[in-house]
Amino acid sequence: MAVKMKAVVSYAPYDNRYEDYPKPEAGPGEIVLKVKGCGICAGDVKAYHGGIRIWGTSPENRYIEAPCIGGHEYYGEVVELGEGVEGYKIGDTLVSEQIIPCGECEFCKQGVYWMCTRSAVFGFKQYANGGFAEYVKLTKNCINHKVPKEFTPEQAVLIEPIACGMHAVERAEIRHSDVVVIAGLGAIGTSMVNIASLALPKMVIGIDVRENRLEMGKKYGADVVLNPMKCDVAEEIRKLTNGLGCDVYIEASGSSKSVTQGMDSLKNLGRYVQMGVFAEEVKADWNTIGDGKELTIIGSHLSGLTYDAVINGIASGEIKTEGLISHKFKLADWKEAFEKTEAPDAMKIMLEP
């Protein structure tokens, strides 16, 4: 009889089930981790809520492969090593990058594996079940990193989301003369404030509608914080920049209103970076991009080549983590945890088996 484990399995929008599920076994080149913790991503919540980006409009354009186990912000302890695995031992603590690259497509062969055409992110495919479970299997193509023994559970869980934020900041190519705006101060956005500040730009501005997150933005290095519910953000940014606007606007909120706000806030020849994920299609005046300001629009996807830097940054203290995990729940209480992500005092929510 197959050994079972507890897991949160996604069957359909609003249909996640905490149930028994076959425990994975390590085949050749594979590793099984005992999950120690897993963060809840906005993408996990949007998937639960039936976001079109995940569920599509038909089975033909659906990204998720239900039923499957969600969660890609996990870390765990090695409990089983398959034949041929080298460089790891039982008891090691690992985090695996959220995408399982195919290793064969054009992008993988060029080294930009995070753009793999297979696009297999943990938690959305049946062959890539995620960390909302007691155990998770790392297949032979997974990109794994050892977690320092001195890391707290919270720090280990934050490696993946902070790595996504670091990639977005790198895409912005921040210069010392830049005024940089980070829109959306969740755990990732707040970390981006921290990482952007390390580049020593002229000014870092944080934007959010929640006062507790604005306070976190200040603690993490924002020179100015703005609440779009209380002011005209674009106007305030122009006041701070001699009427010109900001050089860089990184959108990390996933709010459609933030797109127009960003274009209005940017100076001529400014750089807009889209990192946040939207639940629906977004409309904007594209004349602003071309005929208006000649903006550079930059996408940011996942966390390519940033995990080592994030781990080293957390270990050195340059990358902060205090307060980014606001609540922890047991895996069995996943529904309460998902609901808590919408609470005013929430930052990152963490599940523990």
Q: What integer is the mean pLDDT of 7-29?
A: 97
> Is residue 204 pLDDT above 70, yes or no?
yes
Q: Are 85 and 29 in contact (CB under 8 A)?
A: yes
Per-residue pLDDT tens digits for 85-94:
999 999 999 9
Indicate the fold that domain 162-299 takes in CATH: Rossmann fold (3.40.50)
Selection from 325, 310, 324 nearest residue 217 by Cα: 324
Side-chain half-sphere exposure of 107, counting CA atoms within 13 A: 12
Per-residue pLDDT tens digits for 144-185:
999 999 999 999 999 999 999 999 999 999 999 999 999 999
**Which of the four pLDDT bands, split at 50, 70 and 90, describes residue 279?**
confident
Listed range (51-60, 104-113, 297-306, 327-336) with the worst mean pLDDT: 51-60
Residue linked to tokens 């359909």: 12
Mark 139-161 as b/e (b = at least 16 C-beta within 10 Å): bebbbbbebeeebebbbbbbbbb
> Is residue 64 pLDDT above 90, yes or no?
yes
**Which of the four pLDDT bands, split at 50, 70 and 90, describes residue 278?**
confident
Which part of the chain is CATH 3.90.180.10? 4-152+321-352
pTM (whole model) above 0.85: yes
> Is residue 244 pLDDT above 90, yes or no?
yes
- Pairing verdict, β 266-274 and 296-299: parallel
Residue 118 structure tokens:
């297979």
Local structure of 137: helix, strand or coil: strand
**Which of the four pLDDT bands, split at 50, 70 and 90, describes residue 328?**
very high
Q: Are 174 and 201 in contact (CB under 8 A)?
A: yes
Which part of the chain is CATH 3.40.50.720? 162-299
- Candidates 3.90.180.10, 3.40.50.300, 3.90.420.10, 3.30.1330.40; correct CATH number of 4-152+321-352? 3.90.180.10
**Which of the four pLDDT bands, split at 50, 70 and 90, describes residue 52?**
confident
Q: How large is the angle between the packed helices 153-172 and 187-197, nearest 10 degrees? A: 60
Q: Tell me the C-alpha distance between 175 and 248, whole Å.
A: 10
Local structure of 175: helix, strand or coil: coil
> Is residue 1 pLDDT above 80, yes or no?
no
Q: Tell me the C-alpha distance between 77 and 95, whole Å.
A: 9
pLDDT on residue 57: 87
pLDDT on residue 59: 86
